[in-house]
Chains A and B, each alone.
Chain A
Amino acid sequence: MSQDKPSKELRLINPRPRTLIDRPTHFCPGCHHGIIHRLVAEAIDYFGVREKAIGVASVGCSVFLYDYMDTDVLEAPHGRASAAATGMRRAQPDKIIYTYQGDGDLAAIGTSEIIHTANRGETITVVFVNNTNYGMTGGQMAPTTLLGQKTTTTPYGRDFRRDGYPIRMAELLATLEGVAFSARGAVNKPANVRRTRELIRRAFEVQIKGIGLGFVEVLSACPTDWGLTPLNAIKRVEEELIPYYPLGIFKDKKEADHL
């Protein structure tokens, strides 16, 4: 039985992506925004498009994208990122446009904008962070809040008779002709991080190839507003979120067949 000797020289095998700014994070302990930022940055690096990438940040914790991504960034009003990205796409056909939006932003106040942007088949990439609540405003109910989940505005738990059902955006958007790629990932464990890295990369690839809109929903922990430790928050993603929000690819067009 032979084994390679461990090298005495430490080697960095997974360096910080060029597109991710080197700075201390301000996000809460156990928050997944940092991991997701990194995956977006890696995708931009992979295609070598940092200098022609423009991010569109939204309202909520997701707005701070602009503190971490070393690309041009526009801050859009709450829910309107995909409409602003449409205006950018039309004005700059040669650029790489990506939005980064939370679940209150995209799945509540911005539903109209995302559905019509997707339906027009705008060649943009949409990264949708679903942490089942409004994080920045202190943990209110989001359209994605699970049934029974306690939030500051569902103190007795979300009740479908009053609040309706948690909305599955990746599946919903997959039904639209203009969407080239729609998938859901998670970053609660290394295997899921690796899978989600590929999903985000593909969501950029369909833009670069002009096939249509690329959409990735990423399940994210919000330990602070869930009232859980980071470890228990990761467990909740696995045990409660993933059973309701299945991981996978719901649509992957190989070419722009709607044209």
Chain B
Amino acid sequence: MSADLPPALDDLRTQLRDAAARDDEVEARVAQRVRGQRRRHGLLLGLAALVSFGGVAVAERALDRRGEDVRGDRFPADSTAAADAGVVASSATPDPGGGPPWALRVFTNRAGLDCVAIGRLVGGALGRYDADRTFHKLPTRVPGTCEPLGETGLLVAVQYRAVAPARTLVYGLSRDRRPVRITIAGVTRTVAPGGLGAFIDVREGVTKMRGAKAATTVGGRTIVRDLG
């Protein structure tokens, strides 16, 4: 016990010290995961480049040549898309610290699964900020989290942003577009899905996911996903 503090304030000191240790541990795990993902992503890109370089070279010789991209026609502003293809503008969710909203890209992968990827929405483009607060547009073929939504009814993914300001992002697709209740560390929020059933919950800090859940109603049944 600290000699200067009465029991209640001293008890709080011990609890905060333990909480700081837990928080550091989570932060270290997240950083390790991010480093691992970058390494794997780099290896996959290298492999993909080797494979596609050989394949494209053969295809170009055997089939058609690739010319310039088709130029876009001019349309009135209100008849053009609000966001890049696949980006669900109605999923836009504000960040607690302000700045561009978070949004989802929804797409189907080659295996026919429904997929989502998350980013910040700037000028209709999905991207991310680096540590210098510079926006980088994500490639159209960004990897996502995929599931057969027709069978499962609810797709939920969790991501952390370790670069300040730290965030915990829970997002996904609700097949029946019913509200999704997300409970993390005892705090429940209900989010209303936008187009295609896309939903996002943004929380400040890197939150412990032990006991965290997401729940919605699909086909009249309640579906609960453990996020921990």
A and B co-occur in one complex: no
Which residues of A are in contact with B by a Cβ distance under 8 Å?
none
Which residues of B are in contact with A by a Cβ distance under 8 Å?
none
